[in-house]
């Protein structure tokens, strides 16, 4: 049995959660961040004995649009899939069920689901410090319960939460931009999952392509990319009612 973690993680929280779960199952984990444009899901060769953590962040209660085709390149070949939706303390709505449909379409057997609270990657005051030590302990304990289920149970089915048809996500109408601190190193352009930043003018952003994933903001070594203060304030105002009370991780087995 091999354990894989395949995730779309622009700013690292989804990766951290997926690796916590996978790491509790095995000391050796094969991992792939589908945000990296050179990563190809069809390069993995999975089999029925394997376990694969499939993880994506909620973007407006859905998986990020840019991740759909990348997850669809995977061939599950009967591998057991653990679905993970990370979310910034608002709600994950149809993120996990969308991931379930992709996993089933790729030939995985879905055995468990996890909705994990993380810091909100746009408004970091929400979910700040999550996952914390308590969350990590919960995730690790649940990972062992999943292993036990796979080893000891014949009926591996699980009820994954969410609605079909999925809720509509119109996209985030905000785009980070470079500021005067930019030294033109190109790290943001290289890491943007959708090539929205030109290599030769990386202080610009193609707003029509940008999915507002915040990866460029998190990878810039100079702190030279950000959303405007007006945008951040607007996001804070919009989210504060729904996001202020800390929520629990939700586990489905
Ligand atoms: C464009 C965008 C939309 C988001 N939508 C939601 C949402 O609907 N519900 C929520 O609770 N968090 C939402 N978040 C927060 C992310 O789901 C959360 O921070 C996630 O863990 C980010 O994962 P990453 O660190 O792997 O990029 C959103 C973040 C972004 C950038
Ligand atoms: S990573 Fe930062 S400093 Fe480097 S090109 Fe992008 S905005 Fe400029
Ligand atoms: S330009 Fe947009 S899509 Fe590209 S990394 Fe930045 S926020 Fe994400």
Task: Give Cβ neighbours of residue 205 (< 8 Å, ≥ 6 apart).
Answer: 175, 176, 177, 178, 196, 197, 216
CATH number of the domain enclosing 196: 3.30.70.20
Tens of pLDDT, residue by residue over 63-83, are 999 999 999 999 999 999 999
Instruction: Tell me the best of 36, 65, 87 to mutate to test the pocket of ligand 1, counting ligand atoms within 8 Å of each CB and taking the most.
Output: 87
The CA distance from 88 to 191, in Å, is 22
The CA distance from 5 to 53, in Å, is 5
**Hey, whose CA ends up nearest to atom 4 of ligand 2?**
185
Q: Whole-prediction pTM value?
A: 0.97
Asked whether residue 138 falls in the same domain as residue 186, the answer is: no
**Hey, whose CA ends up nearest to atom 3 of ligand 3?**
210
Tens of pLDDT, residue by residue over 191-206, are 999 999 999 999 889 9
Quick check: is 186 in a domain? yes
CATH number of the domain enclosing 38: 3.40.50.360
Give the angle 243-249-252 at the CA atoms, nearest 5°: 135
The CA distance from 112 to 145, in Å, is 10
In order of 21, 170, 198, 207, 215, the CA distances from 189 in angstroms are 30, 24, 6, 14, 10
pLDDT (0 to 100) of residue 14: 98
Residue carrying structure tokens 């899939």:
81
Quick check: is 90 in a domain? yes
Indicate the number of domains in the chain.
Answer: 2
């Amino acid at each position: 049995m091999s354990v894989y973690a395949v995730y779309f993680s622009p700013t690292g929280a989804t990766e951290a959660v997926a690796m916590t779960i996978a790491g509790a199952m095995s000391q050796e984990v094969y991992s792939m961040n589908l945000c990296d444009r050179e990563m190809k899901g069809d390069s993995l060769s999975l089999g029925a004995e394997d376990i694969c953590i499939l993880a994506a962040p909620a973007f407006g209660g859905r998986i990020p649009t840019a991740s759909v085709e990348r997850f669809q390149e995977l061939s599950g070949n009967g591998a057991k899939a653990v679905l993970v939706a990370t979310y910034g303390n608002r709600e994950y709505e149809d993120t996990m069920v969308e991931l379930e449909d992709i996993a089933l379409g790729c030939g995985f057997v879905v055995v468990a689901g996890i909705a994990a609270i993380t810091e909100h990657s746009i408004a970091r005051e929400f979910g700040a410090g999550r996952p914390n030590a308590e969350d990590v302990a919960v995730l690790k304990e649940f990972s062992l319960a999943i292993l036990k289920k796979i080893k000891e149970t014949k009926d591996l089915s699980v009820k994954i939460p969410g609605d079909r048809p999925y809720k509509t996500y119109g996209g985030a109408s905000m785009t980070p931009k470079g500021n005067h601190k930019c030294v033109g190193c190109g790290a943001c352009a290289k890491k943007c999952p959708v090539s929205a930043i030109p290599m030769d003018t990386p202080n610009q952003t193609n707003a029509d392509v940008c999915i507002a994933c915040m990866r460029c903001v998190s990878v810039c070594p100079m702190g030279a990319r950000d959303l405007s203060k007006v945008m951040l304030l607007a996001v804070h105002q919009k989210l504060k009612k729904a996001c202020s009370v800390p929520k629990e991780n939700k586990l489905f087995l």
